[in-house]
Amino acid sequence: MHPDVAWAVWSGERARRVESVVDGFLPPATEPPQRLHEAMRYAVLGGGKRVRALLAYAAGELTSADPAVVDRAAAAVELIHAYSLIHDDLPCMDDDVLRRGKPTCHIAFGEATALLAGDALQSCAFEALAAAPLRDRGQAVLLLAQAVGSRGMAGGQEIDLAAAGQSLDLAELEHMHALKTSALIRAAVRLGADCGRPMSADENDALHRYASAIGLAFQVVDDVLDVEGTAQSLGKTAGKDAVQRKSTYVTLMGLAAARERIETLHVAARTTLTGFGTGARRLLELADWIVARTH
């Protein structure tokens, strides 16, 4: 099978897999309070590239994990991600009306229900991990909590909000994204890998460097797409960074240098995996896909 086809088959199968795990884990929309459960399901099901889940499954392949064991880790990171998007789209934050090609959760369900849906999805993520068939559930819960709290994603979001109307330098921008975007991506990789055989300290370190590089590359691509994409291709509002006068890789470096930075991070991510052999195949493919993505 051609490598591109094999990748499409694998990623499509894993994306459907996590969709069904999340679907089975969430309360049904018919269960009271129906509106809240409907909003939760609206935000997390039927959309999104599932990058974080794919990273968890791919990292699981590196340590020969059974995908059935990775399922809960993959679901947990997608649940957290969906919560963060709901909250990020609220009027008090990024104030957006379009997400994954449909009205944002607060447009569809109202602000109060959207806020609660985000809260409840975050709880669901921890519930999924806490009851998962993992070797060390406590460690997994700790890892995710640290990645999404004030020293991780939520902290990065606060730095981003505080920077409104100000210009950040490159180091400040990188620090913000290391928390806001990369922390969850790093957690996805580590949680997935931890579902398989124990890793050596060197392997752990290499995987951490892979995830950091790919997390940052994901963000630089996001900045480039905000300039080059359309609402139709992205499924979310395009050109927002310029309207909000946000510092981005493109505003600080220019488009050409931002593209070069993506390629440098791409090469760095691939290089960190050289010692892993064929088990790294999916992580390598994911690195290629993340930097080449168009939405």
Binding status of residue 250 toward ligand GRG by CB under 6 A: no
* Closer CB to ligand GRG, 25 or 276, in the complex: 25
Stretch that binds ligand GRG, among 79-87, 168-176, 190-198, 250-258 (CB under 6 A): 79-87
CA–CA separation, 126 and 199 (whole Å)? 24
Burial class (CB in 10 A: 0-12, 13-18, 19+), 209: middle
Binding status of residue 180 toward ligand GRG by CB under 6 A: yes
Binding status of residue 100 toward ligand GRG by CB under 6 A: yes
Stretch that binds ligand GRG, among 63-71, 83-91, 107-115, 267-275 (CB under 6 A): 83-91
Q: Strand pairing partners for 103?
A: 98
Closest CA to 126 of 165, 174, 85, 75: 75
- Report in angstroms how near the CB of residue 161 gets to ligand GRG at its nearest: 9
CA–CA separation, 91 and 182 (whole Å)? 24
CA–CA separation, 194 and 112 (whole Å)? 36
**Candidate list 84, 104, 182, 272; residue touching ligand GRG; CB under 6 A:** 84
Binding status of residue 181 toward ligand GRG by CB under 6 A: yes
Instruction: Tell me how many residues contact ligand GRG (CB under 6 A).
Output: 16
Binding status of residue 172 toward ligand GRG by CB under 6 A: no
Q: Nearest residue to ligand GRG, using CB?
A: 48
CA–CA separation, 130 and 84 (whole Å)? 20
CA dist 240 → 147, 168, 173, 222, 243 (Å): 26, 17, 17, 11, 5
Binding status of residue 51 toward ligand GRG by CB under 6 A: yes
Q: Are 45 and 31 in contact (CB under 8 A)?
A: no
Binding status of residue 190 toward ligand GRG by CB under 6 A: no
Residues that bind ligand GRG (CB under 6 A): 48-49, 51, 81, 84-85, 87-88, 100, 153-154, 157, 180-181, 219, 222
